[in-house]
């Protein structure tokens, strides 16, 4: 069964998806385009989600005092050492809520990134309550080649003449009780509707989930897989909850640590396997863990283990257990 997956993997990795669909690995370059978030600027609230310190989630090269093209150039340089074979890149609008503006401003930013000669698409990270039909229809037209005529005509890239567009929603949890507790400012149904409209318009849709939010049990997270399977998502990202210094969640954690799941690194890998076994095989797995730089956290319970090592452990463990994504479906 696992031979179905690319790269000799036992799960449907997103890197493999890009290789299968576009013939090569595509590297995302994180951008900060100067957005804010309605949960921070007062439209919904000022404090933000209780776990959030955006600085902890994006690399040094992406700061909004630089133009988008400069951030892209520096991102390419940064990644050249790690992935020397990457030739084409996706501009990843990651910091804060990247659809939280009027359409004219969004168009300017997205089309500016797409005008960079090494960029073959954009990934837009946002909240599900920061999109509307007009913005999504524009993105859909963009992905169908209706907006940028003659775009990158000379690009040596798998006969691509239209940009790859993905919208990535922070869903975080399928449980309203959790969303309320982390001060998310929207409910799960808002995420369901945004994902459905986006997928109906033919766009790739990603969902971001945090594992270990306060009050959630392992069983709740396993049960969540059926809900995730029912959504028209192209890909998912899982992050273990990392308690960032100075956040409301840190205070909560110090006061009531028993309300948080804690995983050792091997225990986490085994838990990821339990999740994978329950996820539909066509769902791409983009990430299994997050990497907040050590200076942002008080504790590093897994030491300084990198994602790439976790993925190696996962591959080995899946093989050892003779398991694979979707095994229990
Ligand atoms: S929606 Fe995103 S940027 Fe806004 S507070 Fe929550 S995690 Fe932070």
Q: Which long-range contacts (CB under 8 A, 24 or more apart) does 104-113 make?
A: 106/135, 106/138, 107/138, 109/33, 109/68, 110/139, 110/142, 111/147, 111/148, 112/68, 112/69, 113/31, 113/68, 113/72
Q: Where are the beta strands (DSSP E) in 63-193?
A: 88-93, 119-126, 164-172
Q: Is 287 in the pocket of ligand 1 (CB under 6 A)?
A: no
Distance 49 CA to ligand 1 centre (A): 5
Atom of ligand 1 lying closest to residue 184 CA: 6
296 CA to centre of ligand 1 in angstroms: 16
Give residue 272 CA to ligand 1 midpoint distance, Å.
24
Q: pLDDT tens, position by position, for the chain (329 residues)?
A: 555 687 789 999 988 788 888 888 889 999 999 999 999 999 998 889 999 986 766 677 778 889 999 999 999 998 888 777 778 899 999 999 999 999 999 999 999 999 998 899 999 999 999 999 999 999 999 999 999 987 875 566 655 778 999 999 999 999 999 999 999 999 999 999 999 999 999 999 999 999 999 999 999 999 999 999 999 999 999 999 999 999 999 999 999 999 999 899 999 999 999 999 999 999 999 999 998 888 888 888 888 888 889 999 999 999 999 999 999 99
Q: Does the CB atom of residue 208 touch ligand 1 within 6 A?
A: no
Neighbours of 209 (CB within 10 A): 19
Q: Which atom of ligand 1 is nearest to the CA of 36?
A: 3
> Is the overall model pTM greater than 0.85, yes or no?
yes
Which atom of ligand 1 is nearest to 40's Cα? 5
With the most atoms of ligand 1 within 8 angstroms of its CB, the residue from 57, 97, 178 to mutate is 97
Distance 20 CA to ligand 1 centre (A): 33
């Amino acid at each position: 069964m696992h031979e179905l997956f690319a790269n000799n993997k036992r799960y449907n990795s997103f890197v493999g998806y890009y290789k299968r669909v576009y013939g090569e690995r595509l590297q995302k370059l994180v951008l900060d385009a100067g957005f804010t978030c309605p949960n921070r600027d007062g439209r919904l609230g000022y404090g933000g989600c209780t776990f959030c310190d955006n600085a902890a989630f994006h690399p040094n090269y992406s700061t909004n005092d630089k133009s988008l093209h400069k951030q892209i150039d520096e991102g390419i340089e940064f990644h050249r050492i790690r992935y020397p074979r990457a030739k084409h890149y996706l501009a990843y609008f990651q910091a804060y809520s990247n659809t939280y503006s009027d359409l004219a401003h969004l168009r300017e930013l997205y089309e500016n990134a797409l005008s960079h000669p090494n960029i073959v698409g954009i990934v837009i990270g946002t909240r599900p309550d920061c999109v509307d039909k007009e913005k999504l229809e524009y993105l859909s037209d963009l992905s169908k080649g209706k907006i940028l005529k003659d775009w990158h005509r000379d690009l040596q890239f798998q006969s691509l003449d239209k940009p790859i567009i993905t919208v990535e929603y922070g869903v975080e949890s399928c449980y309203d009780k959790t969303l309320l507790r982390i001060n998310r400012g929207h409910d799960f149904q808002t995420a369901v509707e945004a994902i459905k409209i986006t997928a109906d318009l033919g766009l790739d849709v990603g969902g971001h989930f945090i594992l270990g939010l306060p009050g959630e049990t392992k069983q709740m997270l396993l049960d969540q897989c059926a809900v995730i399977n029912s959504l028209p998502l192209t890909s998912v990202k899982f992050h273990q909850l990392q308690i960032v210094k100075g956040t409301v969640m840190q205070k909560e954690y110090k006061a009531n640590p028993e309300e948080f799941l804690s995983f050792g690194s091997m225990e986490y890998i085994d838990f990821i396997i339990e999740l994978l076994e329950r996820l539909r095989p066509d769902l791409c797995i983009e990430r299994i863990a997050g990497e907040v730089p050590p200076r942002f956290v008080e504790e590093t319970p897994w030491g300084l283990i990198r994602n790439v090592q976790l993925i190696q452990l996962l591959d080995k463990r899946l093989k050892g257990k003779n398991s694979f994504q979707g095994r229990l479906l």
